[in-house]
Structure 1
Amino acid sequence: MEEVFLNHVRKQWLVKPQISSVGSCCLVGIINEGVLYIANTGDSCVVPGRVERGAKDIKAVQLSSEHNASFLAVRDELRQVSRMIGHTYLKSSEFNHEPLLAWFHIRRPFHNPILCPEPSIEEHRLCKISVCYICIRWTM
């Protein structure tokens, strides 16, 4: 996904340089042999609802964590590299100059990406009999 976006930015750079300041969250869930794998970049999370035995209500259970600066672990990570698709001007100095608008420029040269497209991956074993309602929450 990141490579496709990066190639698109390269093709559009001279015509639409501001595209290098655009980014997005990405959240993917895959179930394989009774295990739910969640890959996440950005400020989004998976919150399924499940019906527990003997209960009439649906219980929400957050299965992934947002990459959001309101969390201590993410603030610590921001001192290093955070996760996001896009925002190529923060990943390569190739896009950190004019014609990109000046307020996006990182003033000091950087050699390593400030953002990383690699997702955090979490695993959750599913019950054999379960009813699941998935809700994906995100912020803009």
Structure 2
Amino acid sequence: MLRLCYTPFDCCFRRRGGGADSLLWHTDLKPHFSGDFSIAVAQANNNLEDQSQVFTSPSATYIGVYDGHGGPEASRFVNKRLLPYLHKFASEQGGLSVDVIKKAFSATEEEFLHLVKLSLPVSPQIASVGSCCLLGAISKNVLYVANLGDSRAVLGRRDADRKNSPVVALRLSTDHNVADEEVRREVEALHPDDSHIVVYTRGVWRIKGIIQVSRSIGDVYLKRPDFYRDPIFQQFANPIPLKRPVMTAEPSVIIRELETEDLFLIFASDGLWEQLSDEEAVEIVFKYPRAVSVFCNS
């Protein structure tokens, strides 16, 4: 089900030129069972914290965008573990489902937690490493999108009734970022006894003044009291007065049966969406007259 049809991440990008352009990577179009895909990365610094992957077979396609923060360890871990867990549970339960996807996320989180426990004495900073996760799966003409954090999946859909442009953008994922008022209210409702659970600092809203996203893999010091109270970790970071976990690894999941009007998909981390609106990104892709699923990571 997860037969590889691409070269490994570390060597699948083509570097373009030198200087600043050496941090712009891309792949040429490659086929999957219902179209084509491509990958692009605009690397922000020399220590790449993000990972991305595409698996494709004659019957299914799987897409992952893993936006790391605090270090590369969590995103690299997710890149190796999430899809194998998805394959394992789908095989055991007779196919993809919301339950299968949530079990794969939970198993990945638990295994990373175990790694953090083992690594804490020599690398206490690993308790503060995390990754947003955006997963897409297309099987039997059904699309599943699961998300932790603020990476985003957007569908380009044909709309013949529009006069200016025959394509519309449909967002398929939820941004778990407290910059969004609804997400702030969700976090505040879970912590009614903490008036400082979300604070405005350094120009943005942050949970406990630390992090903007409310869901991730990792960030275990914000999820497990035994970590943020651990003397080893407190030698690395200041103590955080938490009464209970302030983040979760529970993904939001949508299911959509694909239709003939659905033209292409864009999967990208927040680096793209901070620069382009959903509509702008869809208009750019639509300028190329071909049916293509596009996977972007920035």
Using the size of structure 2 for normalisation, the TM-score is 0.41
Q: 1:9 aligns with which of 99, 111, 116?
A: 116
**How far did residue 62 of structure 1 move?**
1.6
Separation in structure 2 between the aligned mates of residue 51 and residue 134 of structure 1, nearest angstrom: 15
What's the counterpart of residue 106 of structure 1?
240
Alignment of 1:69-108 (within 5 A): 69-79=178-188, 80=190, 82-96=214-228, 97-100=230-233, 101-103=236-238, 105-108=239-242
**How far did residue 11 of structure 1 move?**
1.2
**Runs of 4+ off more than 6 Å:** none
Separation in structure 2 between the aligned mates of residue 128 and residue 33 of structure 1, nearest angstrom: 14
Q: Which moved more, 1:128-137 or 1:14-23?
A: 128-137
Q: String of CA shifts for 1:54-75, please: whole Å, max 9, x gaps.
A: 8876533221121011212210
**How far did residue 94 of structure 1 move?**
1.8
Separation in structure 1 between the aligned mates of residue 174 and residue 185 of structure 2, nearest angstrom: 14
Give the aligned residue type for 2:181. L
Separation in structure 1 between the aligned mates of residue 246 and residue 168 of structure 2, nearest angstrom: 37
Is 2:255 aligned against 1:123?
yes
Give the structure with the higher percent helix: 2
What's the counterpart of residue 268 of structure 2?
136
The count of corresponding residues between Structure 1 and Structure 2 is 137
The 8 Å contact of residues 47 and 137 in structure 1, kept in 2 or not, is answered as: no
Give the aligned residue type for 2:259. C
Q: Secondary structure at the match of 1:40?
A: strand
Give the aligned residue type for 2:127. S
Separation in structure 2 between the aligned mates of residue 72 and residue 27 of structure 1, nearest angstrom: 21
Percent same amino acid among aligned pairs? 39
For structure 2, list consecutive stretches of 5 or more residues without a partner in the other structure.
1-107, 192-213, 272-297
What's the counterpart of residue 65 of structure 1?
174
RMSD: 2.5
Using CA pairs under 8 Å that are at least 6 residues apart, name the structure with larger relative contact order, 1 or 2.
1
For structure 1, list consecutive stretches of 5 or more residues without a partner in the other structure.
none
